[in-house]
């Protein structure tokens, strides 16, 4: 059991969220965009766990379970769209997905 205040894990959550945000903004490959979204969801889950630790409330871990649930559903749809986009385009460039009309069907 840590003897730290809740500030340390909350700061860790903020830093992980920002690393995910930087990845989301900087990368063009859709694989890394999906991975950055997962990093940000995981950081939000850490903040829920931190709050649950601070107040001794199981709701924090319950919300973390729902965050995992959401991440799983989101990733399943994101990955199947990625597979279909890979069959249509030749690259996984997120910018090329803006020009789907130009692609020969």
Comparison of 56 and 104: residue with beta carbon closer to other proteins? 56
Comparison of 95 and 102: residue with beta carbon closer to other proteins? 95
Minimum CB–partner distance for residue 97 and other proteins (Å): 14
Comparison of 6 and 101: residue with beta carbon closer to other proteins? 6
CA nearest neighbour of 37 among 11, 75, 66, 1: 75
Minimum CB–partner distance for residue 38 and other proteins (Å): 7
Check if the beta carbon of residue 30 is closer than 8 Å to that of residue 95. no
Q: Residue 29 phi/psi, 5° resolution?
A: -70, 130
């Amino acid at each position: 059991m840590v003897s730290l205040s809740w500030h340390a894990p909350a700061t860790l959550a903020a830093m992980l969220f920002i690393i995910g945000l930087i990845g989301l903004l900087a990368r063009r490959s859709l694989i890394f965009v999906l991975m950055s979204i997962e990093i940000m969801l995981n950081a939000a889950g850490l903040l829920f766990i931190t709050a649950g630790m601070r107040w001794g409330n199981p709701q924090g871990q319950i919300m973390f379970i729902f965050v995992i649930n959401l991440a799983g559903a989101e990733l399943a749809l994101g990955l199947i769209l990625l597979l279909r986009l890979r069959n249509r385009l030749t690259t996984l460039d997120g910018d090329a997905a803006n020009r789907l009309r130009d692609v020969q069907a």
